[in-house]
Amino acid sequence: MHLPRLNSPVRRALGLALVCLLGTLGWAQNAPSAPQPSAPAPQTPAPFQFSDYAKPRTHFPNPIGPYVPRDVPSPNLTNTPRVDRLMQNGKLMLSLDDAIALALENNLDIAIARYNLPIADTDITLANSGQGTRGVNTGVVQGTPGGGVGGIGGTSTTGSQGGGAGGTTAGAGGAGAGTSGLVTSTQGAGSAIPSFDPILTGTLQLDRNNILSASSFAVPANVNTSTVDFGYAQGFHWGTNLSVGFNNTRTTTSSRFSTRSPLLNSNFRFSLSQPLLQGFGFLPNTRFIRIAKNNREISDVAFRLQVITTVDQIENIYWDLVNAYENVRVQEDSLALAQKTLGDNKKQVEIGTLAPIEIVRAQSVVATDQQALIVAQTNLQLQQLLMKNALSRTLVDPTMAEAEVIPTSTMQVPANEPVVPVQDLINDALSHRAELAESRIDLANRDLTNKSAKNALLPTLSAFAYYGGSGLGGAQNPANLCVNNGNAIGCTLLTDVTSSTSYGGTVGQLFDSTAPDKGVGLQLNIPLRNRAAQATQVRSELEYRQAQMRLQQLENQVRIEVRNASFSVQQNRASVAAAQAAVELAKQSLDAEQKKYALGASTTTLVLQAQRDLTQAQSSLVSAKAAYEKSRVELDRSIGLTLTHNGILMSDAVNGQVTQMPNVPYAAPRPEVQPQTMPPAAPQTAQPPADQPPGN
């Protein structure tokens, strides 16, 4: 088929379009904006981000935002990239600072407690709406085995440990376990609180009613009614309640006795009520908001206590690991020395300078040392497992599960122990202990409840005022009896039925005082015996006094813990000095026995005994150093300065990402075991933070 020749302008336009199209396709093929899945761009793992659940969604910019659920993602159980960076040749080269950093990022106790912060935010939102609070979790989660935490007896002083979410079954001032069941606190008791969230109501109804009649004075009729009603209600922080109602009906009927069809009927009513006795003022009506904000502070303090407890636990596990690691070395040296003695004895028996029984004696020592070494090695494996469990979210990764943990920090005993007056330590503890801060905030909450309960003793006296109006309109009913028979009996008594009123005129009657409805008044309610309010007020006062006694008890317990921790540091420091002297004596004794044995002035039995004494002294020294380090850990915990002394930022613990490495002052690098210089970490794809609720 022959096509007509295109003219030049058209050809040029088509050519330009073809060039642009080819250029676009070529750019799309070479565009770098779509990376290949095999080579993701380097990203820094995102920290945990919590939405501010104290600020709910509003209608702007999304009108239906308040009615859309906010999803919380499932937990992310993968470890942070820091674990991979510490791996060398299948071994986890771990310093104490690295252990604390990994715990802040991966430890499940902290991850579980981290949820308590946004949970407390939801209570603020709930209280701002006018509802009662549900309480917050204040217990310490201790699901990481291996490191005992606490003062005397190894128990925490929180007094709120439990088995529920967040480690406790009792919210702050909430329900607790009683002798025969559940005991409910009076915290938050008081007068009823109005809803601070505006409530808009509406009704749209269509009704058709066929009326049958069995009377001579009534006729069957069909009635169709349309109803459109609106209502608005809101409470305010000083106790005022406001309500507005606007109602509209349109009725058509076939009844001969109805003057209007359709009949338009509108009315509105504006009402205000204000308590004058019970429920009057800001305090009774905003008590839950104040309690929720105080509980949010309690959640912050409780999370700080959780971090302190977990860091304390990690340090204890680490020093137990170091103790086990050092003990293996001691047992290996002891076994090597026993095997050397056995070899020397065999040679002397062969040349006839030693009785054969000495070989049996040396073999017995070797067997005993082998047993001790196996015990030490298995104990080291257990401590390594406990450490890996404490620093990871999962052990499913075979690399992590099979890796040996090599502690690269060792125990450091200062030449001179810093002397701090015990009273200064106690003053620091009274200022920094999280348990005391929790108790003081809870005491403030109970004081609010006391005042609210006293207000609830008063009778209920409310002043109210209202204003409203009614409007009547519609058109003449053509089926009305008087329309067709104006002379009928009773028709002359009726007003003008021929006039009609539109809907606008009907609504206008609401505001032109055609049919006003207004008034003011007082409403009084006096409970004659008032026993419920009396019981609540007295119990609230008793719980407040009980909380004061509990605070004093905690302070006394803190004083004892600080003194006990200080004594333990002194005692363990003396134990280290004694163990060091014992090791030095055992070394010199063994050296002397070996020299005497070489000269024929000693026996194999004495040499083996000296070897056992040295091994025991070295093991005792390792244990003494571990006990000393753990006593310093306990002293930091007892005065509440664990985070400060170790250089830990609370923001890192909240976000689950360490930006400033901890720095434990009483740990020294192990000279013979140090991690190699690692190459830059491979690019990591940011995992969505699993413990975080989504940012909405």
Among 567, 538, 542, smallest CA distance to 638 is for: 567
Tell me the pLDDT tens digit for each residue of 387-418: 999 999 988 878 888 899 999 999 888 888 88
Least confident of 162-176, 193-207, 407-421, 644-658: 162-176
pLDDT band at 260, cuts 50/70/90? confident
Task: Name the least confident of 156-165, 271-280, 485-494.
Answer: 156-165
Return the ∠ at Cα 304 (arms to 300 and 308), rounded to 5°.
170
For the chain, the domains span 199-235+240-278+460-525
Higher-confidence residue of 179 and 668: namely: 668
pLDDT at 270: 96
Closest-CA residue to 278 (of 448, 466, 527): 527
The Cα 536–Cα 183 span in angstroms is 14
Q: What is the pLDDT of residue 600?
A: 81
* DSSP letter (8 states) at residue 54: T
Task: Name 62's Cβ contacts closer than 8 Å, sequence gap at least 6.
Answer: 68
Query: Looking at the predicted structure, is the pLDDT value of residue 27 above 60?
Result: no
Global pTM reads 0.82
- pLDDT given at position 185: 84
Average pLDDT over residues 617-621: 94
Question: What's the rounded Cα separation, in Å, for the pair 50 and 656?
Answer: 11
Q: pLDDT digit string (tens) for 325-365?
A: 999 999 999 999 899 889 988 988 888 888 899 899 889 99
Each residue's pLDDT tens digit, 54-64:
788 888 899 99
How many other C-beta atoms can be found within 10 angstroms of the C-beta atom of residue 222? 12
How much of the chain, in percent, has pLDDT values that exceed 70?
A: 81
Q: What is the pLDDT of residues 494-504, one digit of tens each?
A: 545 456 778 78
For residue 267, pLDDT over 80 is answered with: yes
Give the pLDDT score at 171: 41
Q: pLDDT at residue 209 above 90?
A: no
**What phi and psi values does residue 269 have, to the nearest 5 degrees?**
-150, 125
Q: Tell me, what's the pLDDT at 325?
A: 94
Outline where DSSP puts E strands in 500-545: 516-525
CA–CA separation, 375 and 331 (whole Å) = 10
% the chain with pLDDT above 90: 57
Q: How far is CA 278 from the centre of its chain?
A: 36
DSSP letters along 248-270, please? EEEEEE--TT-SEEEEEEEEEEE
3-state secondary structure 312-332: HHHHHHHHHHHHHHHHHHHHH
pLDDT in tens, 118-168: 999 999 999 999 999 999 988 999 888 987 765 554 444 343 333 333 333
